[in-house]
Structure 1
Amino acid sequence: MKPFVRIDKKDAALAMAHIYVGFAALALGGFAGLLQVLVRSGRFTLPAGIGYYQVLTVHGVLLGLVLTTFFILGFQHAAISRTAGTYSGKSRFMGWLGFWVMLLGTTMAAVMILLNEATVLYTFYAPLKAHWIFYLGLTFVVVGSWLGGAGMIMKYISWRKEHPGQPGPLLTFMSIINTVLWIVATIGVAGTVLFQLLPWSLGLVDRVDVLVSRTLFWYFGHPLVYFWLLPAYMAWYVIIPKIIGGKIFSDSLARLSFILFLLFSIPVGFHHQLVEPGIDAYWKFLQVTLTFMVVIPSLMTAFSLFATFEMYGRSKGATGLFGWFKKLPWGDARFTVPFIGMVAFIPAGAGGLINASNQMNQVVHNTIWVTGHFHLTLATSVVLTFFGIAYWLVPHLTGRILTKAMNKLAIVQAIVWAVGMSIMSGAMHAVGLLGAPRRSSYSTYGDAPQALDWIPYQIAQAIGGTILFMGIILVLYIFINLAFFAPKGEEEFPVGETADTAERTPMALENWRIWLTILAALILVAYTVPFIDMIQNAPPASKGYRMW
């Protein structure tokens, strides 16, 4: 039996600082989400003059941006420290510097939202305008994440120098892929904020080019989805095999799938803009094609995961086509909670194919179907996996243990979450097909003749949302217990080993010159000509700044 390996206490403190902020965002953003669905039901009115879209902005920013970014960076800091070794002083300094810059930016943006000076939703599209402090805060969040990412990359580079000719630890490699994806993707949102929205909010320019702004946002917005998803894949690929007592099916397959996600997740933003004028249909078609390429690493992941499960089951004596299913450790929350997230990704992925399809997107575009899809992907597949990670990561980092009582409660929490999300997201999908608009409250339906037909679905959303909020209360209780009150002890940071039958990992998979060159080429092909068209065909009077 291998000796227990604990992350260095200083690295653990860095990781936990990020995770504390993430769970604080979950508490506030979850409450805002509850208010949202209650208002949408038509049976509840917000008090004290609070606006529906103000609450919607709080919910989207805190859960879609703050919770995810802080938790992911905390998890990746811990993963790299665990698999590549203790951070150097420089790497740890960059991690803490990034944390404080991000926290400052988050506070600035949050204050403006709460003051109703930045009710612009989490997408902050122009011509909606926020206070300049909100945009500056977003800039700090992005820059802070780059600093934290730089600390991770520095550690990875030092490991490679110390181990020439060897592939980096799988969990570290995956973290670096996700960090590179984030850095490249956030160039778009940083560009639109720094050079368009911030000058506009400060009154330095009168107008902004909305098409350019939206394009830069979705250059970032779609890979943001994979920035959320890849840490869940890290757990599925590397952590889950260790938890169930099996081994990773293929190290090479895991690395290749992450490389493909990096290549095909960024140059695809136009599939969010299929109904927008100003973008030639050819370039939309190209990016839709590239979007469908991510199906390949997704199927590779599904194959690898279920191959791991079957290999484990067979090793325990399972027979028949699905006999291995019964052998899985269903009483272990570390496995069961992320597994529910995996299952949710099947309908979530199917919905994503519909959204990305030029023809079928016309049916669901700007309906609440999209919101339902969003809650299946991020709020179920990703978030449930994050909860499953937290149930062992938090006690590991704080020197405590996951008790039997908390383990049982964690499984209950996941079931509550799955039930609530099935009701809420199912109702969103169904009423979206009936044409119910996205991001609208009951009071904004006006005289829409079909609005009465939507009411039962809105009530179902409120019921599902209320159950989800109960799930949030449960997970916050478990988190507080594991961070502060659980018995002291040694909780494992599980890292899987590759199966003995797996092929040796080729070093070409870590040849960054190859993959970054291909990535740059794909981005240039997908965006250069469209951007030239947008600038050349801008209305002459606006000189590149137009308001629609």
Structure 2
Amino acid sequence: MSLAMKQQPNEEINVTPLPITKPEAKLYLSFMYVAFISLFIGGLMGLLQVLVRSGDFELPLGIGYYQILTLHGVILALVLTTFFIIGFQYSLLGKTVGMSDKQRKLGWLSFWTMTIGTALTGTAILLGEANVLYTFYAPLKAHPIFYIGLALVVVGSWISAFVNWHQVYVWKKAHPGQKTPLLAFMVTINMIMWVICSIGVAVAVLVQFIPWSLGYAETINVLLSRTLFWYFGHPLVYFWLLPAYMAWYAIIPKIIGGKIFSDSLARLSFVLFLFFSIPVGFHHQLTEPGIDPTWKFIQVVLTFMVIVPSLMTAFSMFAMFETTGRKQGATGLFDWFKKLPWKDVRFVAPFVGMLAFIPGGAGGIINASHQLNTLVHNTIWVTGHFHLTIATTVLLTFFGIAYWLIPHLTGRKLTPKIHKLGIYQTIIWAVGMLIMSGAMHIQGLLGGPRRSSFSEYGGTEQAAEWVGYQTAQAVGGTLLFIGIVLMVYIFVDLIAFAPKGEEEYPIAEEEEDAQPTPQWMENWKLWIGITIALILFAYTIPMIDIIQNAPPGSPPFDGIL
């Protein structure tokens, strides 16, 4: 029998979930504590930003605009997401393949390494010694503690990746010939992508930024540092997104009373994300000199390849929704839509996130298009895009996960009161984001800059044209902060005040008549080999050119790019 014809038994997707012990739950919850504390602090910084940009508010106590902008970006885009994702993924593997005492101890090592790194980075920002934004572009220069803290966060995440891989390895040894449970397969893919891409930012921080900030190097290769950052920065977006996809593919079906549409399709989409998420960083650098246009074009083509697994996911989700609805009696073309559980916040919050990804994905296509990118590059359009994709699609899905994950870990119940409050929170978030992100997109098309504070262009003719959109951003940002306060309240209630009980950890089974999963789907050497080959093809020659033909090194710069 040929390799392509070999199949793996479908019943392995339906492995009975394992119980989560109290020591395990304590570890997983620790990551959640940091994530939700970060949500509140980062959300407050975001509120202050939009108020300042409206032109009617000044920061007190000598706090700088770029200080809160940096804290907002770092703590939400890096800290909140990474801690939530790693805690969630630990729980997924604990539930599907198990966690040993040794693995749990290494899990704590990853937590404390990341937490110490976060504290160091946050301290540098709060002291005003790291007003370099979350992208920390050179020649902006921060205190060494900022970069050391970032390095520790990355190292801590690598520890968690190796723990995850070891969990799957142990399970595979105990279950020879059986396919890896779907969620464990997805976590493995996500952490392979994360480790490969974060090597870029680790090299930039350890080789360039730390020696430069300590005074051991007088200059820095700016183009090289930006290239290393965006080698990491674009797959970072998929590191945020793929855990949301895990919930969409394998958890939402259980919540709505359905089953996974296709195990093979889900796995293939994750493999394609691994291929096409990393070798595409140049599409963030389309306006930068020093990179051959041919290589920019190649990476733009590779960027558009990511559309394929995205469309596969959309097809799989809506096929599952329709199949489930028809099993529940739906007959018309769209009657299945009415059968979805619109009063279940565990479904509603992620579903609103899915809808937000439609315009968010369309905006991403614009950002990656060479000609259209020149219109929106470095405008607040890009900020609006990030808030649609990450702050809506990803965060609303994370909120939907929290509604069942937190009570499951704490041994409490998701009460009707919290259900209703969660629906209100989702509506407030959606309305607030529609107003704020919509105003950002429009102002961006009118040339409104991203990052800049009102004081830098207030009083100009353009500023008068933008004032209405900036007021709308302040209104939307205020609604979003109200949504954050509600979400933090819900989190605290589920941690400490909800009644004792048992809440389901929903993991769906696959459709009975789905095609068996081919064995070659778990050919890790092949997948990693193709990924590395694509990276080497896309980056080797341009990186050699950037290093060999670098302009004179750039000295420290005290302004804002």
TM-score bucket of the superposed structures, by smaller chain: over 0.9
* Distance (Å, rounded) in 2 between the aligned partners of 1:72 and 1:529: 34
Structure 1 residue runs without a partner (length 5+): none
* Distance (Å, rounded) in 2 between the aligned partners of 1:229 and 1:413: 21
Q: 2:89 matched to which residue of 1?
A: 76
1:546 Cα deviation after fit:
7.2
Q: Secondary structure at the match of 1:513?
A: helix
Contact 1:209/1:547 (<8 A) preserved: no
Q: 2:133 matched to which residue of 1?
A: 121
* Distance (Å, rounded) in 2 between the aligned partners of 1:346 and 1:160: 37
Cα deviations by residue, 1:307-340 (Å, 9 ceiling, x for unpaired): 1000001101101211100000001000011000
1:4 Cα deviation after fit:
8.6
**Pairwise mapping of residues 42-441 of structure 1 onto structure 2 (< 5 A)?**
42-85=55-98, 87-441=99-453
* Distance (Å, rounded) in 2 between the aligned partners of 1:70 and 1:248: 27
Contact 1:22/1:67 (<8 A) preserved: yes
1:21 equivalent among 34, 58, 73: 34
1:6 Cα deviation after fit:
3.4
* Distance (Å, rounded) in 2 between the aligned partners of 1:118 and 1:83: 41
* Distance (Å, rounded) in 2 between the aligned partners of 1:5 and 1:390: 19
1:525 correspondence with 2:537: yes
TM-score by length of structure 2 reads: 0.95
Contact 2:254/2:506 (<8 A) preserved: yes
Cα deviations by residue, 1:184-216 (Å, 9 ceiling, x for unpaired): 110000000000000000000000000000000
Question: Which structure exhibits the higher relative contact order, with contacts defined as CA atoms closer than 8 Å and separated by 6 or more residues?
Answer: 2
Matched letter for residue 37 of structure 2: A
Cα deviations by residue, 1:67-99 (Å, 9 ceiling, x for unpaired): 0000000000000001112x1122112111010
TM-score by length of structure 1 reads: 0.98
Contact 2:18/2:96 (<8 A) preserved: no
* Distance (Å, rounded) in 2 between the aligned partners of 1:433 and 1:236: 32
* Distance (Å, rounded) in 1 between the aligned partners of 2:23 and 2:360: 38
Contact 2:55/2:458 (<8 A) preserved: no
Cα deviations by residue, 1:415-470 (Å, 9 ceiling, x for unpaired): 00000000000000001000000111111115643110000000000000000000
Q: 2:514 matched to which residue of 1?
A: 502
1:64 to 1:91, Cα distance in 2 relative to 1, 3 A: same
1:45 Cα deviation after fit:
0.2
Matched letter for residue 377 of structure 2: H
Matched letter for residue 14 of structure 1: L
Stretches (4+) displaced over 3 A: 2-6, 545-548
1:36 equivalent among 37, 46, 49: 49
Q: Secondary structure at the match of 1:450?
A: helix
* Distance (Å, rounded) in 1 between the aligned partners of 2:200 and 2:408: 36
* Distance (Å, rounded) in 2 between the aligned partners of 1:50 and 1:444: 16
1:453 equivalent among 465, 488, 491: 465
Q: Secondary structure at the match of 2:428?
A: helix
1:547 Cα deviation after fit:
7.3
Moved more, 100-109 or 176-185: 176-185
1:269 Cα deviation after fit:
0.2
Number of aligned positions between the proteins:
544
Matched letter for residue 26 of structure 1: L
2:523 equivalent among 511, 515, 538: 511
Moved more, 158-167 or 70-79: 158-167
Cα deviations by residue, 1:488-538 (Å, 9 ceiling, x for unpaired): 111000000000111111121111000000000000000000011111112
Contact 1:355/1:361 (<8 A) preserved: yes
1:292 Cα deviation after fit:
0.2
Q: 1:7 matched to which residue of 2?
A: 20
* Distance (Å, rounded) in 2 between the aligned partners of 1:419 and 1:7: 37
Matched letter for residue 351 of structure 1: G
Q: Secondary structure at the match of 2:159?
A: helix
Matched letter for residue 61 of structure 1: V
1:481 Cα deviation after fit:
0.2
* Distance (Å, rounded) in 2 between the aligned partners of 1:101 and 1:4: 30
Matched letter for residue 26 of structure 2: A
Contact 2:17/2:95 (<8 A) preserved: no
1:11 Cα deviation after fit:
1.5
Q: Secondary structure at the match of 1:360?
A: helix
Q: What's the % identity of the aligned pairs?
A: 65
